[in-house]
Structures are given as structure tokens and as C-alpha cells.
Structure 1
Amino acid sequence: MDDELNALRRTRMRWNTPLSEAHASVLLDRLDLGEGPHLVDLGCGWGELLLRASERAPALRVTGVDADEVALARGRSAARERGLAVEFTSSDAATWDTPVERAFCIGAAHVFGSTKAGLAGLARVVPSGRLLYGDGFWAAPPNPAALEIFGPDTLTLPELVDTAADAGWRVRHLSVADQLEWDDFESTSRAGWEEWLAAHPADPRAGEVREWLDRRLREYVRDYRGVLGLAYLVLTR
């Protein structure tokens, strides 16, 4: 897909994770932003949660790191519109090597290679402080299709917690996305393209967009709804 359509697909999404406003507020509370002078979001996308953190703690130095230029442009535009001094950096998040006191890494462990490698690498990023870590887990035994979509390295929730402990983290907070959060996430991930498709049915790209939308909905309701979970851990060292 071209950059125009890639940007359009996410226009109805608040953030690129299954998370409600109320749940996000709880996570930011648990992160205790006032005690950390520098917050970095590794794999920030357009950084909406990062912007919320900056609004809560204006004295905080805030940096988002991602390789997706389309998402970064959206984040920079939002920061300007809201008068927030948030820096968005185009880089491979796994190469960040400056220690900070607070960090986010939500749905981005894959940039390190695996959950285990991600939690170990993030321990070097946050040698002392708090990390908000979000990752998928099997909430129910996966069928072969779900395994193919998400890969064999996805853990169960107990395995995820054990992996964090093995990397030297302590769990200060644990919560998981509920079904409404997941349904809203999946619906908004399709909404931008559904609106575009309704307005441009004869566009040469319409067939490819329609195929993607139909496949995504089919996979969600048949293969991983209620099977794939998303855990949010606030971790300390």
C-alpha cells in the first residue's frame, strides 16, 4: 500500500493497541511520571500515549522512537497542535542506548527479536526506574491459524511474567485488555479504510483494500478473538 493509504488506515485509531481511555489513565498513574526526568517510548508509532504523558508532566523530557515515518509525521503534527515539546526520532528502537528513568515499550518487543530479548534489552535502557511494557500473550490455547499469524514465540501470561522476572524486573502493576478494548481496537483499525472504500469503490486500489479488510475481520473473529490477549506490565528494577 502507498503512504496515503497507510496513513488513512490508522486515522480512526486513538493508539495502536487495545486500550481504553480509563485504562490508559491507570497505566500512566502507575508509571509515576513525576519521578522520572526523561521518558522514552521505544516503538512509539504516532505516540498518543506519549503525548498524554507530556500533558500530565510538562517538565518531563519526552522522546518517541520509531522507524515508521508516516506515524512519526502524525505524532509531530499532534505535538505541534497541542503545544507539547515531544521529540520524535526516526530510528530502530532496538538501537536506543541512552539510559532513562521511565520508558514505554508497547507491542514493540519484536524489534529486539523476541519477548525475552526485549525485556533483557529494556533492562539496559531502564537500569533504575519504571517501564510500561505491553505484549501479546495466549489467553486461550491457539489454533493453527493463530499460531501462524502471531508465531510460536508468543507466551502465556504466566510465562510472560516469569520472563520479566528472569530479566530482573519486578511487577508493580499488571492488567490486560478486555474484550471491549480489543473489539474497539480491531474495529477502528479497519474504520479508516472502510470509509475510504465506501467513498472510492472504483479506485484501482479498492480491490486490494477490500481484500485486506475482509481478511483482517475474518482472522479476528475466527482465529484470535478471545485467544490473543494483551498484557500491560509496569515493571521496576
Structure 2
Amino acid sequence: MAAPEDPDRTRYDRMRWNTPLSQDHAALLLDRLAVGATDRVTDLGCGWGELLLRAVEPNGASGVGVDVDADGLERGRRLAAARGLEDRVTFVEAEAASWDEPADRLLCIGSSHVLGGTGPALARLAELTPPGGRLLFGDACWTDPPTAAAAEMFAEVLPLTGLLDHVHAAGWRVLHLSTADQREWDDFESTWRAARQEWLIRHGADDRATEVRERLDAQLDAYVRTYRGVLQFCYLVLGR
């Protein structure tokens, strides 16, 4: 009998994208990003590129997704092929920090850390965006003062005002600002664990089950007790 699949490789299986974002909210952000038919769209830290695919699908634009996660990139290629987008969207296994090709529209959602943090990321993304270009940028933030436990857990997160200070310092103009609501956060956190919870139900007697159960319980406990309703996530459509 074949061994059960690796639960760690299933962690994204139930997720539409790796960010707290509803489909309606995503549609709003892409509308504000205003991708044109001749635009080149780059998603740095794309994962499997679902948002990138939705950005280019309606109007003939082309895109490239950049990430170091080979499994995610292969999933993105399958999704692109299923929609007939394989000739317009390319997935590249590379470090986002080393990417130097400009694009008319850029996406960077939850990936500022791979570009050196919020400030350096916004500055670098400005270098890759020509005048008249736009950026869809997503980053965690505090909209209210965090608890001590949350601040310790997410020491690198800035208040929203600090995030906007970096936006302006990098020369961006804010075309749109919105934050994830509680339902988006709950769905994100739940779907991130869902495939592993399902694995645990199917394979409760597996040698790995105890470790998986303890890890999932600790993650859920941290979410509910420490940062649910406290940590925020901001989406910005920026122009220059």
C-alpha cells in the first residue's frame, strides 16, 4: 500500500490564493489596477499566480509570475493551461529580489519580506514600474495598536501610517486603499489549515499524525487568542 501523501505539501490545496481576500474584493482591486490589453504584468512572489491569471485573462495582456516555490509554479502552469493562457502567462522559478525586468503593472502581495521589507520593497518596485504604471501591493499592518503578544509575534509589521510613509517616500500615489475584513481573514486562516485537517481525519493513525495535530492546534490557538481581529492586511493600488 502506498504511503499517505506528505501533509506539508497539501497546505495550499484548499486556498484560492495565499492572502485574506474575497473574490469580490479581488475583482475591485484588479479593476483599480486597470490592466490594458497590451500591458505586461509581473507578479513577484506569485505562488501559483491565481491573481495574476485573473489580471491578464479578460483582455489579452501577458504576464510573468516569479517565485521560488517549484510546486506552486507548477500548479500555476496547470491553471494557466486549463484556461488557455499558457501562451500569455509564464511562470519563472527565480528570486524576486533578483528580478530586474520592468512591467506596466506589478503585483506584490504579502511578499515584501523577499524584497528586504516594506520600505525597500516599495522602492525597488518603483524602479521596475515605468511612469504611468501601477502596482497592486499587499502588506500586513496595524490599524489599531496591537496587543503585546501580537506585537511580539509580528515584530516586523508596521502601523498603517508607517506603511503609507514608505509609500510616499518611494514616490507612489495612492489610487486605492482597502483592508481585509474579518470574514476574509477567517476564510484565509481556515483554508490554510483545511487540507491538513482533512489529511489528519483520513490518516489519524499515521506516525506523523500527532505532530500534525499539535501543530495545527497551536496555529489555530495562536490565531484565535493572539491576532484574530488585531492583525490587519492592507491592499494598495499605487501609481507613479
Query: Is the pair's TM-score, using the shorter chain for normalization, greater than 0.5?
Result: yes
Q: Distance between the aligned counterparts of 1:148 and 1:211, measured in 2?
A: 22
Partner of 2:47: 45
Partner of 1:167: 170
Partner of 1:66: 67
Partner of 2:129: 126
Q: Distance between the aligned counterparts of 1:36 and 1:123, measured in 2?
A: 20
- Residues 1:137 and 2:141 aligned together: yes
Partner of 1:196: 199
Offset at residue 35 of structure 1 (A): 6.2
Three-state SS of the structure 1 residue aligned to 2:64 is strand
Write out per-residue CA displacement over residues 74-122 of structure 1, whole angstroms, 9 at most, x where no aligned residue: 1111111221131100001111101111000000000012101110111
> Percent of aligned pairs with the same residue?
56
Three-state SS of the structure 2 residue aligned to 1:33 is coil
Q: Distance between the aligned counterparts of 2:208 and 2:46, measured in 1?
A: 28
Offset at residue 200 of structure 1 (A): 0.2
Q: Report the more deviating stretch, 189-198 or 70-79.
A: 70-79
Partner of 1:100: 103
> With structure 2 as the length reference, what TM-score do the two structures score?
0.93
- Residues 1:212 and 2:212 aligned together: no
Amino acid at match of 2:28: V
Amino acid at match of 2:27: S
Partner of 1:180: 183
Is contact 1:40–1:64 with CA below 8 Å preserved after alignment? yes
Q: Distance between the aligned counterparts of 2:134 and 2:104, measured in 1?
A: 7
- Higher helix fraction: Structure 1 or Structure 2? 1
Write out per-residue CA displacement over residues 47-73 of structure 1, whole angstroms, 9 at most, x where no aligned residue: 11111112122x211100000111111
Amino acid at match of 1:91: A
Amino acid at match of 1:155: L
Q: Distance between the aligned counterparts of 2:117 and 2:193, measured in 1?
A: 27
- Residues 1:82 and 2:65 aligned together: no
Is contact 1:7–1:71 with CA below 8 Å preserved after alignment? no
Q: Distance between the aligned counterparts of 1:165 and 1:125, measured in 2?
A: 16
Report the aligned-residue RMSD.
1.5
Amino acid at match of 1:74: R
Write out per-residue CA displacement over residues 136-162 of structure 1, whole angstroms, 9 at most, x where no aligned residue: 0013322333223222x3111111112
- Residues 1:227 and 2:230 aligned together: yes
Three-state SS of the structure 2 residue aligned to 1:34 is coil
Q: Distance between the aligned counterparts of 1:178 and 1:22, measured in 2?
A: 12
Structure 2 unmatched ranges of 5 or more:
none
Partner of 2:24: 22
Q: Report the more deviating stretch, 137-146 or 61-70.
A: 137-146
Is contact 1:68–1:90 with CA below 8 Å preserved after alignment? yes
Offset at residue 211 of structure 1 (A): 1.6
Is contact 1:28–1:53 with CA below 8 Å preserved after alignment? yes
Is contact 1:65–1:93 with CA below 8 Å preserved after alignment? yes
Q: Distance between the aligned counterparts of 1:18 and 1:99, measured in 2?
A: 27
- Residues 1:12 and 2:20 aligned together: no
